[in-house]
Structure 1
Amino acid sequence: MEIIMTGLASILFGAGIYNLLQKQLLRIVVGTVLVSHGAHLYFLTMAQLKRGAPPLVVDGVTEYADPLPQALVLTAIVIAFGVTSFLLVLAYRTYTLNKTDNMEELRGSDHE
């Protein structure tokens, strides 16, 4: 199962980096989202996908699931959502002011 999850995280990283290298601002935002989701999936995979009882002390249970990686990824998802919403607002504001989302045009030319 870990091999499938690592492969899926690798696909997300690859697609995210491809989108980060594009010229359109919206594709760059999508690239950051894909890279962050790939990192979340990779972190959960490296924490070992264990099956066990909930982490409550009960007689007769010997294996518990570790809640720490899940809590860390949940926090990272909330932070990534905040960053994504900020980037989308920033991209919208840039488009309304400059009437373009092309990074080459936003940089300006060296001849000016």
Structure 2
Amino acid sequence: MALTQVRCPDCNGLNVVKYGKQPNGEQRYSCQDPRCERTIFLLNYRNQPTVASPSARTRIIELALDGADAMEISETLGLPEEEVIRVFQQLSRLTAPPVGVRSRNRRAATKIAAG
């Protein structure tokens, strides 16, 4: 069994201990050097693509309008399916219901109209 020395990515120190695991099973570490500002880190940190970029949101909308579902879009763009669904939910809050669609709560709609 080969042992690997784990160094802190900030201070490059060896005073590092295991500090639990991520939900995906990846090991977390904690730097114990009091001068180091970093406390917890991952050994093989990978940036996850995010939907925060406007270009990713635009691409999600384009693919959805072409008929792709959330799973197809996530596979195409390499994004987590949950992120694609989150964009769908955000968009649904911003768009008005189609013309001719009745409100689920007629009394509330009537009160507002009479208001």
Check whether TM > 0.5. no
Where relative contact order (Cα < 8 A, 6+ residues apart) is larger, the structure is 1
User: Highest CA radius of gyration, 1 or 2?
Assistant: 2
TM-score by length of 2: 0.21
Q: Which is strand-richer, 1 or 2?
A: 2
TM-score by length of 1: 0.21
Q: Which is helix-richer, 1 or 2?
A: 1
